[in-house]
Every structure is written in structure tokens, then in C-alpha cells.
């Protein structure tokens, strides 16, 4: 099929495709999502097919208002309402217990819970309202590969497989939303993102569990991104853990007989001698820019230069760094450069 690209002013045309049961990728402040009517089982099944995604991996339901959540979820807790007021629209996804048979198993992965998000992107909120339905929205990429942060990334993976893309330029955050499980006794972050544990705790006044990011190969994940290796390029990524490790890492890279990739901040790229066989990709100045550029860099080496090995900079796993390192570790399959 032809994949049409829509600008924000053309959101009504994109919404008609959603209403017709077609797939339309959409922008958020984090990454691009692959949209389908969350109440149309046939359309939801097509999402899994287009991505090559395991059907036990649940989908996030994107909504334009809290009233839509309340149609499907059991009564929201006081903590949930506080978090909605504090962080929606924004990069926080929350998992709630569902009313019986409220959503199809194809949306929930067969679980009695579902994840909901109110994205902070005007074009996508208009898309949801125009379509008149909540929209499922996993990342709009081939399953397991780096998430898309531009419409061009979506086209690379899904051109001819989906009906349309709503193009609103590059995303601002660059890593997927925080996923907070509110379906149990204690809140738990299942996927770190731009909204941190300390920010959540400050709002709800209780401790949030944070070491819940992985599931085994045979387990059903409660949220996207919990599989061990995820967000992975074709190349092997090596994480360089410390600033003082870079001279040795670059010396090793310079001895290789193939082209190598180097993803690091400008400070590292300018203060070290980069070997001739190493192509550079700047992660900017800090963890904020690095998070925004991480997936774009991995995709650059996959699609434009076909690099086989990449050295990539680590950051402290605090604040946004927790989200960055979660994605980087999964991209690398937990592989670190060792001096």
C-alpha cells in the first residue's frame, strides 16, 4: 500500500484512516507511535503484524482525556488522580486495572490491566479527538529495533506496511515514556523515562519500586520494552562506562580492520584523538541531548553507513540517565567495553 505523509494541518484526513481501521503513525514528545483504533480488534492485530511484534507484548492506549480512561479502567486511586494532574499531558504512562472485558486481549496481552497515556503533542491529541476513539500506540518501528524519533525513521521501517504517518518533526525527549504500574499494592516503574521516580514520589508521597525493568524470555511483560534485548541496531553496541575509559576504547577501535562507530558527547569527541577508521555521531552536551539523539544515532549507523560495531557513552543512572541507560543497555544486550 501507499504510505501517505500528513502534516498537522491534515489531521482530519489521518483521523479518517484510523476510523476506517487503518494504521497511522503519530508523533509524541518521546518517540513516534503506530496508531490504530484501540476498540477495533482487527486493526490492533494489524499493528502486531506491521511491527513483527510478539502478541504477548501489551500496547499503550493513548487518550485525549481522563474520561476515556475511566470508560475502561476501574475507579482511579487518589495517587493516580494526583499524577494525572501533575504529569498529563506528558511522558508518563500508567497501568490500571481494567473493568471486565473492557479491552480486547490483543490490546492487553491477555492481562487484566492496560497502560494509558495522554501524550504532550497537539497534533496527536487532535488526531485522537478527531478519530473519536482511543488509539493504541507502540513505537512505530520494526519490533526490537531502535525507536523512531522522526517520520523518516518510520518510513524506513514501515513504508508500504501502514496507511499513513502524521509528521510533526523530530521528537523532543527521544526515549519512550516512563511506565508506572499502579495496578498492585505498591507503585512500580516498569520502564524508566523522563518522569523520574523521585518526581513521582514527591507527588504521591510514597515509595516507588524501581528495579522492575526486565522479564524472562517466557514471561508475559506487563509493559512494552521489558524484554531483555530491545531497541537494538544491527550493529553490536559496546558501552563505554567511564570518561577515563575512552582513550583505551578508541585505541582498541583504531586497531580494528573495519569501520567503527563512536557515539559520544562533544566533550569526548573533541578531547580525544578519534582514529581514522571511526565515524563520529555527536550526542550533544549532556544526558538530555544524548537521550534525544540515542536512537537517531543507532539508526544512522544501521541505515546510512552499515557500521558493525559501535562505542557508545554511558551516563550516571540517575534522573533521565536511568532511562538513557535502560535503553542503551538493552540496545547493547548488556555488552560493555572492558579495558
Eight-class DSSP state of 39: T
Secondary structure element (H or E) that encloses residue 285, with its range = none
pLDDT of residue 176: 96
Task: Judge whether residue 305 has pLDDT over 90.
Answer: no
pTM of the model: 0.92
Task: Categorize the per-residue pLDDT at 339 as very low, low, confident or very high, splitting at 50, 70 and 90.
Answer: confident
Structural domain span for residue 289: 236-332
Task: Judge whether residue 52 has pLDDT over 90.
Answer: no
| Domain-located, residue 51 | yes
Instruction: For residues 244-268, give the mean pLDDT.
Output: 97
Task: Judge whether residue 203 has pLDDT over 80.
Answer: yes
Task: Categorize the per-residue pLDDT at 221 as very low, low, confident or very high, splitting at 50, 70 and 90.
Answer: low
161-190 pLDDT tens trace: 999 999 999 999 999 999 999 999 999 999
Task: Judge whether residue 228 has pLDDT over 60.
Answer: no
Looking at the fold, whether 81 and 39 belong to one and the same domain comes out as: yes
Transcribe 83-120 into DSSP letters.
HHHHH-SSSEEEEEEBPTT-S-HHHHTT-SEEEEE--S
Please state, for a pLDDT cut of 90, what percent of the chain lies above it. 87
Looking at the fold, whether 36 and 124 belong to one and the same domain comes out as: yes
Secondary structure element (H or E) that encloses residue 2, with its range = none
Cis peptide leading into residue 173 (ω within 30°): no
Looking at the fold, whether 172 and 249 belong to one and the same domain comes out as: no
| Domain-located, residue 217 | no
Instruction: Give the CATH number, domain containing residue 145.
Output: 3.90.870.10
Q: Residue 338: exposed, middle, or buried by beta-carbon count in 10 A (0-12, 13-18, 19+)?
A: exposed
pLDDT of residue 215: 57
107-135 pLDDT tens trace: 998 999 999 999 999 999 999 999 999 99
Instruction: For residues 141-156, give the mean pLDDT.
Output: 94
Residue closest to 302 by CA, chosen among 255, 237, 226: 237
Task: Judge whether residue 223 has pLDDT over 60.
Answer: yes
Looking at the fold, whether 257 and 320 belong to one and the same domain comes out as: yes
pLDDT of residue 1: 87
Domain count along the chain: 2
Rounded CA-CA distance 250/103 in Å is 51
pLDDT of residue 87: 98
Looking at the fold, whether 54 and 142 belong to one and the same domain comes out as: yes
Task: Judge whether residue 219 has pLDDT over 70.
Answer: no
Burial annotation 249-273 (CB, 10 A radius, 16+ → b, else e): bbebbeeeeebbbbbbbeebbeebe
Instruction: Give the CATH number, domain containing residue 249.
Output: 3.40.50.11030
Looking at the fold, whether 178 and 302 belong to one and the same domain comes out as: no
Task: Categorize the per-residue pLDDT at 225 as very low, low, confident or very high, splitting at 50, 70 and 90.
Answer: low
| Domain-located, residue 260 | yes
| Domain-located, residue 221 | no
Task: Judge whether residue 263 has pLDDT over 90.
Answer: yes
pLDDT of residue 226: 63
Task: Judge whether residue 218 has pLDDT over 60.
Answer: no
Looking at the fold, whether 148 and 262 belong to one and the same domain comes out as: no
Burial annotation 131-160 (CB, 10 A radius, 16+ → b, else e): bebbbbbbbbbbbebbbbbbbbbbbbbbee
- The cell 487484566 sits on which residue? 112
* Domain end residue (candidates: 181, 204, 227): 204
Looking at the fold, whether 155 and 53 belong to one and the same domain comes out as: yes
Neighbouring residues of 72: CB distance < 8 A, sequence distance ≥ 6: 61, 98, 99, 102, 103, 114, 116, 134
Looking at the fold, whether 74 and 21 belong to one and the same domain comes out as: yes
Task: Judge whether residue 229 has pLDDT over 60.
Answer: no
Task: Judge whether residue 214 has pLDDT over 80.
Answer: no
pLDDT of residue 222: 72
Secondary structure element (H or E) that encloses residue 339, with its range = none
Rounded CA-CA distance 278/250 in Å is 8
Q: How far is CA 127 from the centre of its chain?
A: 20
Looking at the fold, whether 303 and 241 belong to one and the same domain comes out as: yes
pLDDT of residue 83: 98
pLDDT of residue 22: 98
* Domain end residue (candidates: 182, 204, 226): 204
Looking at the fold, whether 149 and 197 belong to one and the same domain comes out as: yes
202 Rama sector, left if φ>0, alpha if ψ -120 to 50, beta otherwise: alpha
| Domain-located, residue 216 | no
pLDDT of residue 220: 64
Mean pLDDT of the chain: 93
Weakest mean pLDDT among 92-106, 172-186, 211-225: 211-225
Task: Judge whether residue 211 has pLDDT over 90.
Answer: no
pLDDT of residue 127: 98
| Domain-located, residue 231 | no
Task: Categorize the per-residue pLDDT at 272 as very low, low, confident or very high, splitting at 50, 70 and 90.
Answer: very high
Query: Residue 55 is placed in which grid cell?
Result: 502478541
Q: At what angle do helices 11-19 and 122-131 cross, to 10 degrees?
A: 40
CA dist 109 → 8, 44, 113, 195, 196 (Å)? 31, 11, 9, 25, 26
Task: Judge whether residue 14 has pLDDT over 60.
Answer: yes
Transcribe 291-318 into DSSP letters.
HHHHHHHHHHIIIII--SEEEEE---SS
* Domain end residue (candidates: 204, 222, 246): 204
- The cell 519512550 sits on which residue? 176
Looking at the fold, whether 167 and 125 belong to one and the same domain comes out as: yes
Sign of CA dihedral 88, 89, 91, 96: positive
| Domain-located, residue 263 | yes
| Domain-located, residue 70 | yes
Pairing of strands 33-37, 135-136: antiparallel
Amino acid at each position: 500500500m501507499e504510505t501517505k505523509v500528513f502534516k498537522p494541518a491534515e489531521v482530519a484526513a489521518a483521523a479518517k484512516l484510523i476510523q476506517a481501521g487503518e494504521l497511522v503513525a503519530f508523533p509524541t514528545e518521546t518517540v513516534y507511535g503506530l496508531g490504530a483504533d484501540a476498540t477495533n480488534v482487527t486493526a490492533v492485530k494489524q499493528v502486531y503484524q506491521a511491527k513483527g511484534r510478539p502478541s504477548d507484548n501489551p500496547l499503550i492506549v493513548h487518550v485525549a482525556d481522563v474520561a476515556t480512561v475511566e470508560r475502561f479502567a476501574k475507579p482511579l486511586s487518589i495517587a493516580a488522580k494526583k499524577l494525572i494532574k501533575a504529569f498529563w499531558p506528558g511522558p508518563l504512562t500508567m497501568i490500571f486495572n481494567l473493568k471486565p472485558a473492557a479491552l480486547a486481549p490483543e490490546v492487553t496481552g491477555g492481562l487484566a490491566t492496560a497502560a494509558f497515556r495522554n501524550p504532550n503533542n497537539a497534533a496527536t491529541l487532535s488526531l485522537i479527538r478527531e478519530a473519536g476513539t482511543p488509539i493504541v500506540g507502540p513505537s512505530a518501528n520494526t519490533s526490537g529495533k531502535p525507536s523512531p524519533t522522526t517520520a523518516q525513521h518510520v518510513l524506513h521501517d514501515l513504508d508500504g506496511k501502514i496507511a499513513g504517518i502524521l509528521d510533526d518533526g523530530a521528537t523532543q525527549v527521544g526515549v519512550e515514556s516512563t511506565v508506572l504500574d499502579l495496578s498492585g499494592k505498591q507503585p512500580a516503574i516498569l520502564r524508566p523515562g523522563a518522569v523520574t521516580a523521585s518526581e513521582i514520589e514527591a507527588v504521591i508521597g510514597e515509595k516507588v519500586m524501581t528495579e522492575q525493568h526486565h522479564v524472562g524470555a517466557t514471561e508475559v511483560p506487563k509493559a512494552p520494552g521489558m524484554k531483555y534485548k530491545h531497541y537494538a541496531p544491527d550493529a553490536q553496541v559496546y558501552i563505554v562506562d567511564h570518561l577515563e575509559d575512552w582513550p583505551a576504547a578508541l585505541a582498541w577501535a583504531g586497531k580494528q580492520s573495519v569501520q567503527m562507530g563512536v557515539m559520544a558527547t562533544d566533550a569526548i569527541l573533541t578531547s580525544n584523538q578519534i582514529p581514522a577508521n571511526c565515524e563520529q555521531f555527536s550526542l550533544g552536551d549532556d544526558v538530555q541531548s544524548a537521550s534525544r539523539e540515542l536512537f537517531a544515532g543507532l539508526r544512522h549507523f544501521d541505515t546510512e553507513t552499515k557500521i558493525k560495531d559501535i562505542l557508545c557513552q554511558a551516563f550516571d543512572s540517575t534522573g533521565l540517565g536511568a532511562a538513557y541507560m535502560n535503553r542503551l543497555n538493552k540496545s547493547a544486550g548488556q555488552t560493555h567495553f572492558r579495558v
